[in-house]
Amino acid sequence: MIALSDLGWWVRYTLNNRETTSDRELQIASDWVSWDYLVQTFQEVTGEKAIFRRLSMDEWFACLSGHDRPTANEKRLRDGSTTIRESFSVLWCLWRDDIINRDFDWIQSINPNTLSLADWMRQTDYTGVVGPYPLKNTEDGKGRIVRNKAVTELLLRI
């Protein structure tokens, strides 16, 4: 994860250090967050109970409607474009298969004030409540993923 404040810090660092950053892909993050670490940290910071249910991708996508739509706003349903499901699936496989990694020693050496997950939760008063617009497209009125209430309510009872 990357905290918005850390992202801003890295933008400024990049602009102020062009001679060392212009030819690099800065693989930055604030903290390496696994599901178990997220649950543990959330409980420690908020005092609230948290659980993570391990779901297959099919089970997870059953919790949503609209995942068959194209990722790009201007594309139409079933026009051959990459779907939201395909896009999210590839991303999750990259994390699951440890293809994505970060050099946190290097990150901390450049920005020793990088926020941990717990620091970010405290700084933002994070409660776990998802606001009305969890994704930018939804906020812009272009949202395409909708929670399947029947499935998610069933999962909460299990």
91-143: pLDDT as tens digits: 989 988 989 999 999 999 999 999 999 999 999 999 988 766 566 666 676 76
Kindly report the number of other CB atoms within 10 A of residue 83's CB atom.
Answer: 19
Contact in structure between 137 and 144 (CB atoms under 8 Å): yes
Whether the pTM exceeds 0.95: the reply is: no
Of the chain, the end-to-end C-alpha distance in Å amounts to 28
Q: Tell me the pLDDT of the chain averaged across its residues.
A: 88
Give percent above pLDDT 70 in the chain: 87
Q: Which of 36-50, 58-72, 127-141 has the lowest mean pLDDT?
A: 127-141
pLDDT bracket for residue 76 (50, 70, 90) = confident
Distances (CA, A) of 41 to 2, 52, 98, 106, 113: 16, 12, 21, 23, 19
User: With 0-12 CB in 10 A as exposed, 13-18 as middle and 19+ as buried, what is 99?
Assistant: exposed
